[in-house]
Amino acid sequence: MKIYVTGAATTKFGELWAVSPRHLAGEAVQKALADASLDKKHIQALFVGNMLSGMLGGQEHLGAFFAEELGLSAAAFKIEGACASGGLALHNAVNSVLSGQYETVVALGVEKMTDHKPEDVAVALMGAGSDEERQAGATFPGLYAILARAHMKEFGTTEEDLAAVAVKNHFHASLNPNAQFHSSITIEQVMHSSCIADPLKLLDCSPISDGAAAVIITSDKKQATRKNSVQIIASTVATDTLGLAERRSLTGLAATQTAGKKAFRITGITPADIDVAEVHDCFTIAEILAMEDLGFYKKGKAAGAIAKGETRLGTSKNLVVNPSGGLKGCGHPVGATGIKQVAEIVEQLRGRAADRQVKNANIGLTHNVGGSGATAVVHILKK
Amino acid sequence: MKIYVTGAATTKFGELWAVSPRHLAGEAVQKALADASLDKKHIQALFVGNMLSGMLGGQEHLGAFFAEELGLSAAAFKIEGACASGGLALHNAVNSVLSGQYETVVALGVEKMTDHKPEDVAVALMGAGSDEERQAGATFPGLYAILARAHMKEFGTTEEDLAAVAVKNHFHASLNPNAQFHSSITIEQVMHSSCIADPLKLLDCSPISDGAAAVIITSDKKQATRKNSVQIIASTVATDTLGLAERRSLTGLAATQTAGKKAFRITGITPADIDVAEVHDCFTIAEILAMEDLGFYKKGKAAGAIAKGETRLGTSKNLVVNPSGGLKGCGHPVGATGIKQVAEIVEQLRGRAADRQVKNANIGLTHNVGGSGATAVVHILKK
C-alpha cells in the first residue's frame, strides 16, 4: 500500500495575538482540504500534534476538541512527544492508513505559545526533559549549550559556525511569506546578540511561536492521481534517554541516528539522494548535529560545510536544508513544527515553493526532535 | 493479519501513596512481559495512555520517559483523549501492528492522581470538557448529573436504579484483589451517601485513583500459539461534541453508539454474542447509558435489568458487566482505565479470573469514554 499526501498547508507562524488555537487549526485544515479538493466528510480520523495546551491552557482532549471545531465526523487523537508531537502525530496517521483501518486522515499540528508568560512557557517546555534536569533548573537553551560545547571541544566547531546556521535559515525565512522572521541577518549580528546560555546567543535560538500546519494523507490512488500528490515512503521513530547525563555521547543524538538509518534502510536510498530537507534546528547546534547524525556529513564536517553555503538556497549543489527557514527563521510552535516540515517538503516536491523553490527537488526528508533528543522522527517523501 | 494479546497485567488500583508513576508503569509492563514470556528487547513500540501528567506534574514526553524507565529500545508515543487515553493508546497500538510497521508492541495506561489536591484534580479533569463548561464552573459529576436527570425524566429511571449499578460493581470489586474497594455496599448505603451533584451521590461516583495496566500485542503467530493468547477482533473510535449543550440527545452518547455499531459490523457479531464486558461506569448513570448505547438493551430498559441482576456475577444468564468492579469499584486512574478493561477481559477469556470468573467467557467487549462522551473507544476480543 502506498501513502500519498494530497493536501498540505501551513498558517502564518509568529506572534499571532489576534487568533486562537481553534482559528489556527481551522485555517490549516481548511486550506489543506482545499488543496486536496476534498470535502471534510471524507476525513475518517484526525491526529493532533500538540504539547502545551494542557499545561498552559488547561485544555486536553484536543482530538475530540478539534474534530468538533472542524465539523469532522471522525475518530480523533492527541499525540504528544514534546517538540516531536507533530512528527509523531503524522507517524501514527501513516500507520493508521497502512493498517487499513482508515483510508483518508488528517495530521494536524498546532501550538499557541505567546498567550502565556515566557517564564511559564519555559517551565512548561521543561516537561520534555528529565526530572533531574527540571529539578536542577535546567532550560532547553542550557541543555543545547552543553551539546554545543561538547561539539566545539571535540571537533573545533566555532561560535561563528553556529551563527552561520542562523544566517542561512534567516535568509531562507526571508523568502517564506509564512515565516515568523523576514529579515536576513549577519554573522556579526548573531555574534553580538545577547548571550542566552553560553555559547548560544539569542540569534542561535528558535523563537516562541504560534502556528498550525496540516497534511491530508490517503491510500486512495484515485484521490492521489487527481492531484499533484507526493508519497511518504518512510516514517520512522526512535527514542533515547530524556536527560543528557544518561547519554553515551554528547556530540550526536542517537535517536536521530537510529530513526535516520531505519528510514534509509526501508527505502533503499542514501543521504546523497535527498534533494531537500527540513531538520530540527531548535538551536543552531541542533542543525549541525542533525546533518551529521542523518549521514549527510561525517562527524565534525557539517559545521564547515554549512558555513561554506553547501546547504543554502542558491549556493547548494546537492542538498538544501531548511528552505522554510527552519525552526530558527520560520518559527517553532512546538506541536506544529513536525507537520510544517512535511508541508514544506510537499510544496518543494510539487514545485510550488515560489521564491524558495529548490531546483530538481525529487526526494525530501524531514527530521523532528523532542526534548534534547529523547525522541526523533524521520519522514522521507518523494514525487 | 490477526492481532493477539499475549500478555496483560494490572497493578493494584487505589490511593497508592508510596509509589510513583515510574513504579506503577514498571510493575505493569514487567508483569505483562512475564505473562507473555517475552524479553523486553522484542518490544518495538510503546503507546502510553495518560491524561494528567503534564497538567498536574509538569512532565510531558511520557513516551520516551517510560521507554527509558523500562529500558526499551523502542519508538514511543503518548496518546491522550481524556479518560479514554488508555483505549486510544491501544487503538493506535493495534493499528501500528496492522500496518506492518511494528510486530510486537506494548500499550501502557498509567495515572497518578492522589499526589495532588482533589480540587486541582477536579480542575485538571475539566480539561476534557468544553471551554464553556469549564468557564461555567461545571465539574464531571455535574455533567453526568444532567445526563442522569434527562434519563430519569424520559424513561422513569430512579435513583435506586442508579444505586444498583454501584452495588453490583462493588460486589464484583470485592472479588478482585487489585480493586480499590473491597467492601460490598447496599442500595441504602448509596442512597444515604452525601449528595455530590443531584441526583448523583458519593457512591454513584468512581473514585480518584492511582494505577497502571499494560497489554502486549503482536501479529506473531508463534508468540501467540506459545501462550494462552486472545485476539483483538475490533478496535473502533468515534467522537462527539465536547460539551453537552451541543448534543442532539442527553439520553445516550452518540460516540458510544457509533463506535459500538462499527465494532459489531466489522466482526459480524451481535451484542447477544458478548459474554463479558467492561464498560465505562465513571458514574452509575454512565453504565446504564453504555448498556443501551452499545445495543445490549433498548433505550430505557437497561436500568431495570441491571437492578434485577441480569449483568451480575452469579445471577446473570448471558452477560456479566464490569466483573473487575468497573471504574466505580476497581478505581479510575483515568489514563489506565482503558487498558485495565482490556486486561480484565483477557483474564476472563483465558479463564484466569479466579473468584470473579465469568462462566463460558468466549467473547468480550471493552468500552472506554473520554469526558462526558466526546470520545468513545470499543474493543472486541475473542478466545
Indicate which CATH number applies to the domain containing A32: 3.40.47.10
3-state secondary structure of A374: coil
Chain B hits for A77, Cβ within 8 Å: 79-81, 88, 91-92, 237
Same domain for B333 and B288, yes or no, is yes
| pLDDT(B226) > 80 | no
pLDDT band at B143, cuts 50/70/90? Answer: very high
3-state secondary structure of B278: strand
Name the residue in chain A with its Cα closest to that of B371: A61
Same domain for B348 and B260, yes or no, is yes
3-state secondary structure of A77: strand
With contact defined as beta carbons under 8 Å apart, do B204 and B166 qualify?
Answer: yes
Q: What is the pLDDT of residue A55?
A: 95
Percent of chain A residues topping a pLDDT of 90? 98
Which of A226, A261, A293 is at the close of a domain?
A226
Which of A151, A170, A280, A332 is catalytic? The answer is A332
Same domain for B281 and B327, yes or no, is yes
Q: How far apart (Å, rounded) are the C-alpha atoms in residues A128 and A51? A: 9
- How many CB atoms sit inside 10 A of residue B362's CB? 15
Same domain for A202 and A67, yes or no, is no
| pLDDT(A226) > 80 | no
Percent of chain A residues topping a pLDDT of 70? 100
Span A203-216, mean pLDDT? Answer: 98
Which of A83, A205, A282, A330 is catalytic? The answer is A83
Among this protein's residues, is A282 annotated catalytic? no
Query: DSSP of A222-270, one letter per residue?
Result: HHHHHTT-EEEEEEEEEE--SSGGG-S-SSS-HHHHHHHHHHHHHHT--
With contact defined as beta carbons under 8 Å apart, do A19 and A28 qualify?
Answer: no
Give residues 283 to 342 of B whose Cβ lies within 8 Å of A: none
Q: What is the pLDDT of residue A225?
A: 83
Span A292-318, mean pLDDT? Answer: 97
Name the residue in chain A with its Cα closest to that of B60: A127
Contact status of A67 with chain B (Cβ, < 8 Å): yes
Q: What is the pLDDT of residue A31?
A: 98
Distance of CA A259 to the CA centre of its chain: 15
Contact status of B233 with chain A (Cβ, < 8 Å): no
Span B16-36, mean pLDDT? Answer: 97
Query: DSSP of A174-222, one letter per residue?
Result: TT-TT-S------HHHHHTSPEEETTEEGGGBPPP-EEEEEEEEE--HH
Contact status of A131 with chain B (Cβ, < 8 Å): yes
Which of A161, A194, A226 is at the close of a domain?
A226
Question: Which grid coordinates belong to A12?
Answer: 502564518
With contact defined as beta carbons under 8 Å apart, do A53 and A62 qualify?
Answer: yes
| pLDDT(B225) > 90 | no
| pLDDT(A42) > 90 | yes
Q: What is the pLDDT of residue A228?
A: 84
B370 lies in some domain? yes
Return left, alpha or beta for B314; rule: phi > 0 is left, psi -120 to 50 is alpha, else beta: left
Quote the Cα angle for B172-B175-B179, to 5°: 80
Distance of CA A252 to the CA centre of its chain: 18
pLDDT band at B228, cuts 50/70/90? Answer: confident
Contacts of A265 (CB under 8 A, 6+ apart): none
B125 lies in some domain? no
Q: Cis (ω within 30 of 0) for the bond into A199?
A: yes
Q: For the segment A263-283, what is each residue's pLDDT rounded down to a tens digit?
A: 999 999 999 999 999 999 999
Same domain for A293 and A158, yes or no, is yes
Quote the Cα angle for A278-A283-A286, to 5°: 60
pLDDT band at A224, cuts 50/70/90? Answer: confident
Q: Which residues of B are the active-site residues?
A: 83, 332
Same domain for B81 and B23, yes or no, is yes
Longest CA pairwise span in chain A (Å)? 55
Q: How far apart (Å, rounded) are the C-alpha atoms in residues B236 and B224? A: 22
Same domain for A151 and A277, yes or no, is yes
Question: Which grid coordinates belong to A223?
Answer: 484521490
Contacts of B172 (CB under 8 A, 6+ apart): B312, B313, B322, B323, B324, B325, B326, B329, B330, B356
- How many CB atoms sit inside 10 A of residue B315's CB? 11
With contact defined as beta carbons under 8 Å apart, do A82 and A37 qualify?
Answer: no
3-state secondary structure of B374: coil
Q: Choose, out of A51, A53, A95, the residue to mutate when testing the contact with B (most B CBs < 10 Å).
A: A95
Question: Which grid coordinates belong to B343?
Answer: 486486561
Q: For the segment A233-267, what is each residue's pLDDT rounded down to a tens digit?
A: 999 999 999 999 999 999 999 999 999 999 999 99
DSSP H stretches of helix in chain B = 21-36, 53-57, 62-70, 85-98, 118-125, 131-135, 140-155, 159-173, 187-191, 221-226, 254-267, 284-293, 302-307, 326-330, 334-349
> Quick check: A92 and B91 CB within 8 A?
no
Name the residue in chain A with its Cα closest to that of B76: A239
Same domain for A153 and A111, yes or no, is no
Span B225-245, mean pLDDT? Answer: 94
Same domain for B111 and B159, yes or no, is no
B123 lies in some domain? no
Distance of CA B55 to the CA centre of its chain: 21
- How many CB atoms sit inside 10 A of residue A365's CB? 28
Which of A198, A226, A254 is at the close of a domain?
A226
- How many CB atoms sit inside 10 A of residue B276's CB? 31
Q: For the segment B283-332, what is each residue's pLDDT rounded down to a tens digit?
A: 999 999 999 999 999 999 999 999 999 999 999 999 999 999 999 999 99
Give residues 31 to 60 of A whose Cβ lies within 8 Å of B: 45, 51, 54-55, 58-60
Contacts of B136 (CB under 8 A, 6+ apart): none
B124 lies in some domain? no
Q: For the segment A63-120, what is each residue's pLDDT rounded down to a tens digit?
A: 999 999 999 999 999 999 999 999 999 999 999 999 999 999 999 999 999 999 999 9
At residue B295, φ and ψ (nearest 5 deg) are: 90, 10
| pLDDT(A200) > 80 | yes
Same domain for A217 and A154, yes or no, is no
Question: Which grid coordinates belong to A136?
Answer: 536542577
B28 lies in some domain? yes
Q: How far apart (Å, rounded) are the C-alpha atoms in residues A240 and A293? A: 14
Q: Which residues of B23-42 are buried (b: 16+ CB within 10 A; e: fewer)?
A: bbbbbbbebbbebbebeeeb
Q: How many domains does chain B have?
A: 2
Same domain for B151 and B258, yes or no, is yes
Same domain for B111 and B242, yes or no, is no
Q: Which residues of A168-196 are buried (b: 16+ CB within 10 A; e: fewer)?
A: bbbbbbbbbebbbbeeebebebbeebeeb
Place of cell 481524556: B82
Average pLDDT score over chain A: 97
Contacts of B335 (CB under 8 A, 6+ apart): B48, B49, B50, B51, B52, B80, B83, B85, B86, B89, B109, B110, B111
Name the residue in chain B with its Cα closest to that of A63: B81
pTM value?
Answer: 0.98
Q: What is the pLDDT of residue A51?
A: 97
Q: For the segment B192-213, what is each residue's pLDDT rounded down to a tens digit?
A: 999 999 999 999 999 999 999 9
Half-sphere exposure of A379 (CA within 13 A, CB side): 32
With contact defined as beta carbons under 8 Å apart, do A89 and A49 qualify?
Answer: yes
With contact defined as beta carbons under 8 Å apart, do A81 and B61 qualify?
Answer: yes
> Quick check: A80 and B82 CB within 8 A?
no
Of A62, A235, A371, Cβ closest to residue B64 = A371
pLDDT band at B45, cuts 50/70/90? Answer: very high
Name the pairing type of β-strands A45-49 and A320-321: unpaired
Range of the domain at B295: 130-207+232-382
Q: What is the pLDDT of residue B270?
A: 98
